[in-house]
Structure 1
Amino acid sequence: MSETRLPGVLVPAALAGFAASGGDLLAGDLVMRQGQVVGLAPATAEPSRIVMPRLADPHVHLDKCHTVGRIPHVGGDLMAAIAAQRQDRAGWTAQDIRARATRGLDELATAGCGAVRSHVDWGTVDDPAAVPLAWEVLGEVAEAYPLVLQRAALVSMPVMADAGHARRIAARVARDCGVLGCFVYDQPERAAGIANLFRLAQDFGLAVDVHVDEGLAPGLDGVERVADAALACGFNGPVLLGHACALMNRTGGDLARVIDKLARAGIAVAALPYTNLYLQGRADGTPDRRGLTRIHELRAGGVRVVLGADNVRDAFCPVGNHNPLATLALAAVAGHLDPPFGRWLGMISTEARLAMGLEAVTLAGAAVQGLICFEATTLADLLSAPPRAVPLGDLLERLAA
Structure 2
Amino acid sequence: MSHAPGAQSRLSASRLTEARLPGVAVPAALVAAADRFGGQPQGEHLVGDLVLRNGRAERLEAATVPPRRLVLPKLTEPHVHLDKCHTIYRMDGVGGGLEDAISAQALDRETWTADDIRARAGRGLGELLAAGCSAVRSHVDWGSGRDPAQAPLAWDILRELAQDASDAVIVQRAALTGADRMADIGYARACAARVAQSGGVLGSFVLNQPGRKEGIANIFRVAEDMGLALDFHVDEGLAPGLDGLEMIADAALATRFGGPVLCGHACSLMNRSDKDVRRIAEKLARAEISVVALPTTNLYLQGRNNGTPDRRGLTRIHELAAAGVNVVLGADNVRDAFCPLGSHDPLATLSLAVLAGHLDPPFGDHLPMITTGARRALGLAPVTVDGAAIGDLQLFDALSVTDILGSRSAPRPLTDDLPGASV
Name 2:142's counterpart in structure 1. Answer: 122
Distance 2:420 2:341 in 1: 35
Matched, 1:15 2:16: no
Q: Is structure 2 residue 212 aligned with structure 1 residue 186?
A: no
CA–CA separation in structure 2 for the residues paired with 1:72 and 1:189:
35
Q: 2:153 aligns with which of 116, 120, 133?
A: 133
1:4 is aligned to 19
Contact 1:122 1:129 (8 Å CA) reproduced: no
Q: Which runs of 5+ in 1 are unaligned?
A: none
Deviation at 1:158, TM superposition (A): 2.8
- Please give the alpha-carbon distance, in whole angstroms, between the structure 2 residues aligned to 1:125 and 1:208: 22
> Equivalents in 2 of 1:50, 1:295: separation in Å?
27
How far did 1:400 drift? Answer: 7.5
Within 2, Cα distance between the matches of 1:273 and 1:265?
A: 24
Structure 1 Cα separation of the partners of residues 379 and 32 of structure 2:
19
Flag the 1:42–1:203 CA change in 2: closer, same or farther, 3 A: same
| SS of match in other structure, 2:308 | coil
CA deviation profile, 1:189-242 (whole Å, cap 9, x unmatched): 101110111001100011100000000000000000100111111111110000
CA distance in 1, matches of 2:184, 2:92: 34
Note the residue ranges of structure 2 that are not aligned, 5 or more in a row. 1-15
User: Aligned partners of 2:106 and 2:417: how far apart in 1?
Assistant: 44
For the residues of structure 2 that align with 1:388 and 1:253, how far apart are their CA atoms?
43
SS in 2 for 1:286: coil
Residue pair 1:129, 1:168 contacting (<8 A) in 2 also: yes
Structure 1 CA distance, aligned partners of 2:191 and 2:81?
19
User: AA paired with 2:50?
Assistant: L
- 1:81-134, Cα deviation, whole Å (9 max, x unpaired): 000000000111110000011111111001100101000000344545521000
**Distance (whole Å) between structure 2 residues aligned to residue 80 and residue 125 of structure 1:** 21
Amino acid at match of 1:6: L
Q: CA deviation at 1:51?
A: 0.6
The answer on 1:111 being equivalent to 2:126 is: no
Deviation sequence 1:281-337 (CA, Å, 0-9, x none): 001000000000000000001100000000000000000110000000000000000
Instruction: Give the partner amino acid of 2:368.
Output: G
> Contact 2:21–2:417 (CA<8 Å) still a contact in 1?
no
Match of 1:89 in 2: 109
Asked if the contact 2:292–2:328 (Cα under 8 Å) also holds between the matched residues in 1, the reply is yes
Tell me the matched-pair count.
401
Question: In the alignment, residue 15 of structure 1 is paired with which amino acid?
Answer: L
Partner of 1:50: 70
When the two chains are superposed, the root-mean-square deviation of aligned CA atoms in Å is: 1.4
Trace 1:179-258 onto structure 2 (pairs within 5 A): 179-258=201-280
Identity of matched residues, %: 61
- 1:358 corresponds in structure 2 to 380
Q: Which runs of 4+ in 1 moved over 3 A?
A: 124-129, 397-401
Q: Give 1:252 deviation, angstroms.
A: 2.2
Pick from 331, 334, 341 the counterpart of residue 353 of structure 2: 331
User: How far does residue 397 in structure 1 lie from its aligned partner after superposition?
Assistant: 5.1
Shift of 1:177: 1.5
- Identify the residue that residue 327 of structure 2 maps to in structure 1: 305
Separation in 2, partners of 1:135, 1:26: 42
Q: What does residue 266 of structure 1 align with?
A: 288
User: 1-side partners of 2:228 and 2:145: how far apart?
Assistant: 26
Equivalent residue, structure 1, for 2:8: none
Q: Distance in 1 between matches of 2:151 and 2:57?
A: 42
Which of 46, 53, 67 is equivalent to 2:87? Answer: 67
Q: Matched residue of 1:177: which SS?
A: coil
Paired residues of 1:58 and 1:270 also in contact (CA < 8 A): yes
